[in-house]
Amino acid sequence: MQSERFVIEARAVPPFMKNGFILGCNQTHRAAYIDPGDEVGQLLKWVDKQGLELESILLTHAHMDHISGVGEVKKKWDVPIHLHPDDAFLYERAQEQAQAFGLQCPAAPPYERELADGQSVQVGDLTLEVHHTPGHSPGGVCLVLDDHVFCGDAVFAGSIGRTDLPGGSYETLIASIRNRILPLGDSKILHPGHGPDTSVGRERQTNPFLN
């Protein structure tokens, strides 16, 4: 997805088909990697091909499919890792999370910077707004840039994130969606952690969990 100000590139690979995103600033050619997972090899090659310079790793939450590629990004680009501290316990137990699914996940390097509700994060000349949206996990956040919302696993096209994992809460997640995401406005494009893009307006009207 390309605009005059920025580019958004996404990839997803098996087994989780989790969306990883590169957000690049067209003016400065600096970029952020949002939720590095198993697709990391593909997106790092794309970054090189585009001549972008990564300056940060931004995590919407710390479930292992969203952080399994953090170490590889950090090894190639020694940039700060941003995470909401309420998800620190998940981040530090990535290997235990993977074992619960019969999988393996490399230990993630320590995160350096805390995300907080209302905070602004710069990516080149772009400004992302942080919205704390717990429920899928305690430290889940949405990252908002203009009409684009990187919403992690809070809400999907026609569904919502699961709430049966440690720290999850159905009531909290529904409240986050209703009080923090829907008020962003129907025109906002949602870039979820799994599946296709959607919009606030579409989910307000058709998502069975919100009717």
pLDDT digits (tens, 9 = 90+) for 56-95: 999 999 999 999 999 999 999 999 999 999 999 999 988 7
Band (104; pLDDT cuts 50, 70, 90): confident
What's the CA gap between 151 and 137, in Å, rounded?
Answer: 12
Percent of the chain with pLDDT over 90: 90
Half-sphere exposure of 80 (CA within 13 A, CB side): 9
Q: CA 96, CA 9: separation in Å to the nearest integer?
A: 30
pLDDT at position 205: 97
pTM, two decimals, is: 0.96
* CATH architecture for residues 6-206: 4-Layer Sandwich (3.60)
Concatenate the DSSP letters of all residues of 37-49 into one string: -TTHHHHHHHHHH
Determine the average pLDDT of the residues in 125-135: 98
Stretch 103-118: mean pLDDT, rounded? 90
Q: How far is CA 143 from CA 119, 130, 164, in A?
A: 10, 5, 23
Above 90 in pLDDT, residue 106? no
What average pLDDT does the structure give for the chain?
96
